[in-house]
Structures are given as structure tokens and as C-alpha cells.
Amino acid sequence: MISGMLENIRLTTFLRYRVKGGKAAAFSVLFFASTLSFATQQANPDALRYQLSRAEYFLYKAPKTAIEHIDAIANLSEMEPDLQFQANLLKAQAYLLLFKQDEAAEYLDKVFSLEIAPAFRERIFSVLYTASTWLRRTNHHETTTKGYTCALKHASDSSQKLKALNGLANTARERNNLVVANSLYLEAKELAERLEDSNALASINNNLGVVASDRGNRGDAQNFFKDAYMLFQLVPNKSGELNSGLNLLVTMLVNKDEAMYARIHSNVRALVNEFQSTSRVAYLNWVEYGHARLQGKKLTANEKAFLAEEFKHLDDVGLQRMIKMYLADDLGVNVAVSEVNPKMEKIDHAWVEALVACNW
């Protein structure tokens, strides 16, 4: 990168003293100099690796920024397979954090198309875990369980084992198998505490809050969500902060904790605006109408119809159950929780069969 900048300076200096053909000629050569500098930077593998390292740094803190760093790489498809693989995996992960499942699927397809890259084998756990999370987010739970089990098989350390256990627990929870989910979460929590992994611990607390909520333990749910929210802020992990914050707002409405609701609402709303996820916008709409109802507002027929439509945009079955249990009836909105896919079904991505076979 530095060599490219120096080349730009040398050519610009030459122009100042040698070009006599007027402004148009000077601009033309300056443009060439700038383009040469940029191309020099992009052709430099060290510069590319720097961009990818910056993307990885921002992945959980600001997923949009991570994507911007990768998008700044010119001619990525012409680069060596390892660099293409790393960039596509990071974009798939970033889009999942932004709750953009279609975009994540597009880059997962590219990741699996680069199976020949040495980095694919080196990062096999991350590939399997990310693919399994996409399957869970799109409600293919039978396939998801097989995916996370495959990821667990390829876990090379305790941190990876922890992530796979948490994924399996999430899947069990979304299938409403709360006993299995709770057992797996507690096993994962013990491991997270031993590893002093704050991000994982925050995620597990948030999920334990959902389990407590499903069981009707509203006080326990609020405490778990509160612990998760504060930990995600410390990590920091904005995606986790957004999820746990929305969950926390629901329990505050149910527990009529107006003071705490007022304290965190503006921050959660700002995060929803930043992420611009259709699912999280829908979630916030339900929360805010729930708060208006708590204040004495009665919903009109049009507002009820709006919320019923927004419910369809909630991309998490467990989240739909929580909204139906705690908000829908009180608001007088009739909704039906999406059916969890209990059977293996055809999924239109070539890599799914390989994931299930787990022969890496």
C-alpha cells in the first residue's frame, strides 16, 4: 500500500513540473496516476489481508462496516482462492448478524464453491457453524441439528465446542424441546464461565431468558435478558445487544417496569434503525404498540391488521411464541406461530447434502 502511495506522489510531482498541455491533459494523467496507485494497493496481497483483518475486527461490533471493508477490495473474484474464501465467509457471517438471510445464503454458496482452498479446511468449523445458523434462521431445524452436530465433530477447541453446543440448544428451543434446550444451555454456560468468554455467556443468558419466558417465568426471563444486554454492551456485540434489548423490553412490559423500559428504549430503537432488519423492525413495532397499550391506548382495526402482518416478518419461531404469549392476546391481535419443519426437506443449496453427510 505504501509503495502505491509513493508511486502516486512521484507521478503527481512529475505532472506539476512537466505537463504543459493544459488542465485537461493534467487531469487525464493525474487520473492515471491515481488509478495506478489504487491498482497497486489492490494487487498487493498484504493490503488485501489488511482489509480482511479490518473486516474481521468490525464483524460483531459493526457488521455493516465489516461488509464495507470487503466491498472496498477490487477484483476479488480474481484473487487467490484463500482470500476469496475468507472474504465470502466474512460477508456471510456479517449478513447473518444483520438478519439478512438471503444475502447470507448467496455468500455461503460462494464459500462452499471454494472448498478446494486450503483455508476452507483450516476454517471448517466456522463454515459448518455459519451454514447451520443460516439453516436454523430459515426454520430447517432437522437439517440444522445435523449441521451443528457436524460442527461439534470438527470443533478443535473448547470455544468451538461451546458455540456448537449453544447452536444445538437454540435449535432444541425453537423446536419447543425446552428440557433438552435448558440442559444444553447450562452445559454451555458452565464451559463459557470456565473459558471466561463474555460474548458466549451473554448469548447463553439471552437464550436462557427465552426458555424462562416460554415457561412463563417472567421474573427469571427479565433477569437473564438484563444480564445478557449488559454483557453484550461490554463486549461489545451490537447484534446481541439488539436481540437481548428487544427481549428485555418485552419482559419489562409484561412486568410493568416502566422506569427500566424508558431507560433502554431509545438505545434499542437506535440499534433497530442502524441494522434495518425487517424482522427486528417488526419486533420493535410490536413492543411499541405493547407499550402504548400499557399506557391505555386501544388499537384500531387497521393497527391490529398491521401488527398481524408484521408478525409474519418475525424470523424466529421462539420469538413468535414469545410475542403471541405476552403481547398478541393483550393487544387483541390474532396470530399463528409458524410451523417448525419437522422433516428433512429439499433445500435449494447444493452444499446442504454435503453438510448433512459430514465427510470432511
Q: Is the pLDDT of residue 58 over 90?
A: yes
Quick one: pLDDT at residue 47? 79
Q: Is the pLDDT of residue 77 over 90?
A: no
pLDDT band (50, 70, 90) for residue 26: very low
Question: What grid cell was written down for 119?
Answer: 483455508
Q: Is the pLDDT of residue 7 over 80?
A: no
Q: Residue range 199-218: average pLDDT?
A: 95
Would the pTM of this model clear 0.75, i.e. be above it?
yes
Quick one: pLDDT at residue 318? 84
Quick one: pLDDT at residue 48? 84
Which residues 6+ apart lie within 8 Å of 88 measured at CB? 107, 110, 111, 114
Q: Quick one: DSSP state of residue 324?
A: I
- Report H helices in the chain: 2-18, 23-43, 45-58, 63-71, 81-97, 101-113, 118-122, 124-137, 141-153, 158-174, 178-195, 198-214, 218-234, 238-254, 258-275, 278-294, 301-311, 317-323, 329-331, 351-357
Model pLDDT for residues 141-197, shown as the tens digit of each residue? 889 999 999 999 999 999 999 999 999 999 999 888 999 999 999 999 999 999 999
Cα 152–Cα 158–Cα 164 angle in degrees, nearest 5: 30
